Copies of this chain bind each other. A is one copy, B any other.
Amino acid sequence: MDIKQYLNHRCQEVEQALDQLLPPIEGPLAGHVEAMRYSLLAGGKRIRPILCLAAAEALPTDSRPLLPVAAALECIHTYSLIHDDLPAMDDDDLRRGNPTCHKKFGEAAAILAGDGLLSFAFELLARPLATKNISAGEQLHLIGNIAAAIGPMGMVGGQVLDIEAEGRQIELEQLQQIHRCKTGALITVAVQSGAIGGGADRRQYEALTSYGEQIGLAFQIVDDLLNVTGDSTTLGKAAGSDAARGKATYPALLGLEATRRQADEAVAGAITALNGFGEEAEPLRELARYIAARRK
């Protein structure tokens, strides 16, 4: 299969859904909606929503009814980027090659754009889904799963640990915990959401969870690598910023070669986890390879 073509197609599908689901830029709240749409529709790889859709496809089932879930995952990811970029946090001026939300709209508007996107994500997640694959009880499970993955013991907790660790010497184990919470949890739950929405049985759910955990790890390791070896133009954000900020990274702790090996091992593990699946899981396998090979 042609993974580039697959990603392009899925990307368009997700962006169309986001555009249709978000409120239009009009009325007294036009400025607020504009700030949300600015960050949400400014490009991005759409990895999390695509993982959700590809997981459902692997089962195999029609993934289209899960588009609101996929869109919600991207809203959550974007909210986390907007808040992480704030002056009080990572204080970043560039994101995906454009001014960050607070640079463009001001700090108050950016905090509220993030808050708005997070609440809106749960509004999307609670809507009735146009599929019989998933009961209302399973949909509650899906929502609870996502909320846990992004909350105090998940993504938000990971950002707390990340900020606390800045400029301090930390061990590999702590770095792994930061990444598991900050990046891994949302990627894993994106795959799990596709699994639940696609009607996975327990065995399939566990295999897809294992896949999700390992590509979550691979994703972050490659992110660390790109921050060292990439250039700002390709990345659309400042390269070398981790080192400048005294952030612990895999390359800093393990060296470049061992870091690359860890990424390869995680990708291989993710693909092995899919052994029980057939041809329909090919997009997931290719996604794992793509995540390891990406340049931005």
Q: Which residues of B contact A89 (CB under 8 A)?
A: 108, 111
Contact of A116 with B157 at beta-carbon distance under 8 Å, contacts A143-B126, A147-B123 already known? yes
* Cβ-defined partner of A160 (8 Å) among B32, B119, B135, B153: B32
**Which residues A154-206 have CB closer than 8 A to chain B?**
154-157, 159-161, 163-164, 174, 177
B123 & A144 in contact (Cβ 8 Å cutoff): yes
**Which residues A24-52 have CB closer than 8 A to chain B?**
28-29, 31-33, 36
Q: Which residues of B contact A150 (CB under 8 A)?
A: 119
Q: Which residues of B contact A106 (CB under 8 A)?
A: 88
Distance of A115 Cα from B76 Cα, bound (Å): 11
B109 & A160 in contact (Cβ 8 Å cutoff): yes
* Cβ-defined partner of A152 (8 Å) among B32, B136, B157: B32
A29 & B161 in contact (Cβ 8 Å cutoff): yes
Distance of A161 Cα from B153 Cα, bound (Å): 32
Quote the shortest CB–CB distance from A89 to chain B (angstroms).
5
Q: Which residues of B contact A86 (CB under 8 A)?
A: 108, 111
Quote the shortest CB–CB distance from A196 to chain B (angstroms).
12
A88 & B108 in contact (Cβ 8 Å cutoff): yes
Chain B's closest residue to A174 (CB) is B28
* Cβ-defined partner of A147 (8 Å) among B83, B119, B152, B157: B119
Number of copies: 2
A115 & B156 in contact (Cβ 8 Å cutoff): yes
Most chain B C-beta atoms within 10 Å of own C-beta, residue among A28, A111, A115, A174? A115
Tell me whether A290 is interfacial, beta carbon within 8 Å.
no
Chain B's closest residue to A178 (CB) is B28
Tell me whether A140 is interfacial, beta carbon within 8 Å.
yes
Quote the shortest CB–CB distance from A177 to chain B (angstroms).
7
Contact of A128 with B140 at beta-carbon distance under 8 Å, contacts A31-B164, A111-B89, A159-B112 already known? yes
Q: Which residues of B contact A148 (CB under 8 A)?
A: 123
Quote the shortest CB–CB distance from A131 to chain B (angstroms).
14
Distance of A155 Cα from B157 Cα, bound (Å): 24
A120 & B28 in contact (Cβ 8 Å cutoff): no
Q: Which residues of B contact A88 (CB under 8 A)?
A: 106-108, 111
Digit string of A87-121 for contact with B (CB within 8 Å is 1, else 0)? 01100000000000000001111011011101110
Tell me whether A232 is interfacial, beta carbon within 8 Å.
no
Q: Please name 8 pairs of A and B residues whose Cβ atoms are closer than 8 Å in the assembled complex, sorted by A.
A: A23-B152, A29-B157, A86-B108, A88-B106, A119-B147, A120-B151, A123-B148, A126-B140
For the complex of A and B, 6 pairs with smallest distance between CB atoms: A126-B144, A119-B151, A136-B136, A88-B107, A123-B147, A116-B152
